Structure 1
Amino acid sequence: MSETAARWYVVHTYSGYENKVAQNLEKLVENRNLQSLIYEVKVPTELVVEQKEDQQKEVERKLFPGYVLVKMEMTDDSWYVVRNIRGVTGFVGPGSKPVPLSPREVENLGVEKRSFKVDYKVGDSVSIKEGPLKDFVGTVEELDAEANLVKVKVSMFGRETPVELELSQVQLV
């Protein structure tokens, strides 16, 4: 089977067991050689700055406490392996039927980073392909491939205005 058939599923865990479930699942996949069924395990987190007693501290916080995301092909074997990890209470979905995340949900959660190959660079003239500024032409000021953003300076009402867009929203003129 291939990774293209794999989908992201949400696994419900006991609160506080997310990292332990992820570690145990990764170890089990490696030990039983199940890389062809279970591809990735993630516990989505974010960095948050906390203020405690006049000190700021960066803390990693779970975005979805009690949940682990698993990219896998849903077969009886893979379902059984994930379902029987200590700390897992089940898959998210009606009854006992796991429901995969839609591509849009995966994108919105930022689980998978999509990379774009762009044929423009800073200083190039580009045309905006979509959005409220469609068909406007501007100059690329900044490229941020990791954040999937490009800053373009567009002339509107006789003024140069910086606009932030996704990489896929512009094309080389």
Structure 2
Amino acid sequence: MAAKKILMLVGDFVEDYEVMVPFQMLLMVGHDVSAVCPDKKAGDTVATAIHDFEGHQTYSEKPGHNFRLNATFDEIDAASFDALVIPGGRAPEYLRLNGKVLDVVRHFADNDKPIAAICHGPQILAAAGVLKGKTVCPYPAVGPEVVIGGGESIPPSDTFDNAHVDGKLVTGPAWPAHPAWIRSFLEVLGTKIEP
């Protein structure tokens, strides 16, 4: 298996599990992951939030860990990366306001490179205008933005543990989907894990 260079877009109050788990799992299988945040550099941290499903009308939020960035946003060249990962949480709602973030996302979509987005991550895809004709499984509250962005939003399973693949776009509704979402992303990347 050839290691892939993967870019991960994060920001303050990214969902804790949705940044920590894929970052560590992709490193574990041998990929090179660069986690970046606009206006921050390698060595800086972003605050994370833990979102849980506790029977309320929406998810609850608690403070998470600090996540250390290992690359500097202003120094990245999207063309040097093979794939993109966009975790959810609250970060996507403001990261999508950054023109360079949208340009980076468009580079991956325009060049048919693998993109994995989970939970609220598709907010950035919608803002970048790359969802036309795509089928996406986002967090349900993001479904209207997917549709407005020209995509089709499909519902999660009752346990939020499903993922969906449309070409090289891999989406999932929330962190319970990690096994299906990461497995699907690894397949799109061409990563083989032998039992």
Q: TM-score, normalised by structure 2?
A: 0.22
**Structure 1 or 2: more helix by fraction:** 2
Larger Rg: 1
Q: TM-score, normalised by structure 1?
A: 0.24
